């Protein structure tokens, strides 16, 4: 039985920030990733679909997913209408051959957007033919209290989304177990942001294996289930002092994923033989 599954292991452009989208393609191709997730808005090039097409052609590396511009720092990227942003994200995914748009739940102050979000996501999926995988977030934690910053919920399992994204740094910040969360997501789980965290109130996005989330167990469980979505390394390398330091983290993340994203070997059963008298005997392994 092959130990490789159909899922692809990609690299998020956020993982190379403050380097550019172009740098992400170059590093992904050279280090052996299967593709790229483009987080729209973290650098100007990420909004230019024609330029990204040229990077795809030059590096012969596909765009696996588009991350819609729904961060606080990308609130004005592709306009200010949140539904317009998602529509443009779906168009970008189609143009680039990606099959997934990753989207965060609305902020609570986006009241109209939040009110119709669940139904709107279902409608966008139907109209565009693109998967919109809603990502798990977390309550914003302050001393003595937690702020519910997202609506209708930071936890996508509380809503009726057809598809979800599991981010291990976010599950860490939310003090959730990623394996248990994946089980709750069940068949809706389409996309994984592979990273790690230590349970800090900060969204850490550590190299997988350097935190306390059960990243290895999650990967093996997904492999056993023949997971066919995308696994995207989304780590924070902003503290890397040099390109070489950044590459070390990206290589370690890819090697960790490949090491653990393999199905558990099936138990070996002893063989049997038929004697000339027609009796069946068990062979000793």
How far, in Å, CA of 274 to CA of 193, rounded?
52
pLDDT per position as a tens digit, 72-119: 888 888 889 999 999 999 999 999 999 999 999 999 999 999 999 999
Q: Model's pTM, two decimal places?
A: 0.90
Instruction: Report pLDDT for 168.
Output: 98
Give a yes or no: residue 1 inside a domain.
no
Sequence-distant (≥ 6) Cβ neighbours of residue 106 within 8 angstroms: 82, 113, 114, 117, 150, 151
Domain housing 251 = 8-282
Residue 180 lies in a domain: yes
Domain count, the chain: 1
In a domain, 95, yes or no: yes
- What is the average pLDDT across 142-155? 77
- Structure-token pair, residue 233: 């390394």
Question: What CATH number should be reported for the domain holding residue 177?
Answer: 3.20.20.150
Phi and psi torsions of 236, nearest 5°: -100, 115
The confidence score (pLDDT) of residue 264 equals 85
Q: What is the mean pLDDT of the chain?
A: 91
| Residue 18 burial (C-beta neighbours within 10 Å; 0-12, 13-18, 19+) | exposed
247 within a domain of the structure (yes/no):
yes
pLDDT exceeds 60 at position 284: no
Q: Is residue 3 part of a domain?
A: no
Q: Which residue has tokens 């969360």?
A: 181
Question: Does the residue 2 lie in any domain?
Answer: no
Instruction: Assess whether pLDDT exceeds 70 at residue 272.
Output: no
- pLDDT tens across 52-78, in order? 999 999 999 999 999 999 988 888 888
């Amino acid at each position: 039985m092959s130990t490789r599954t159909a899922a692809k292991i990609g690299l998020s452009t956020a993982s190379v920030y403050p380097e550019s989208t172009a740098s992400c393609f170059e590093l992904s191709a050279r280090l052996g990733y299967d593709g790229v997730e483009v987080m729209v808005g973290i650098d100007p090039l990420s909004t230019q679909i024609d330029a990204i097409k040229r990077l795809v052609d030059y590096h012969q590396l596909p765009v696996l997913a588009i991350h819609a511009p729904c961060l606080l720092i990308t609130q004005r990227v592709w306009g200010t209408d949140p539904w317009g942003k998602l529509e443009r994200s779906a168009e970008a995914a189609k143009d680039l051959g990606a099959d997934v748009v990753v989207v965060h739940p609305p902020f609570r102050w986006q009241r109209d957007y939040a009110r119709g979000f669940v139904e709107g996501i279902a409608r966008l999926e139907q109209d565009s033919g693109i998967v919109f995988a809603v990502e798990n977030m977390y309550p914003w934690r302050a001393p003595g209290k937690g702020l519910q910053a997202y609506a209708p919920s930071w936890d996508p399992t509380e809503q009726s989304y057809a598809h979800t994204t599991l981010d291990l740094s976010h599950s860490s910040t939310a003090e959730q177990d990623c394996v248990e969360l994946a089980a709750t997501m069940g068949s809706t789980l389409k996309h994984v942001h592979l990273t790690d965290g230590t349970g800090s109130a900060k969204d850490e996005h550590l190299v997988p294996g350097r935190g306390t989330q059960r990243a290895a167990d999650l990967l093996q469980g997904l492999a056993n289930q023949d997971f066919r979505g995308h696994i995207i390394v989304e780590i924070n390398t902003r503290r890397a002092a040099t390109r070489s330091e950044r590459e070390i983290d990206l290589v370690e993340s890819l090697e960790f994923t490949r090491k653990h994203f393999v199905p558990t070997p099936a138990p070996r059963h002893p063989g049997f033989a038929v004697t000339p008298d027609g009796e069946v005997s068990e062979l000793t392994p």
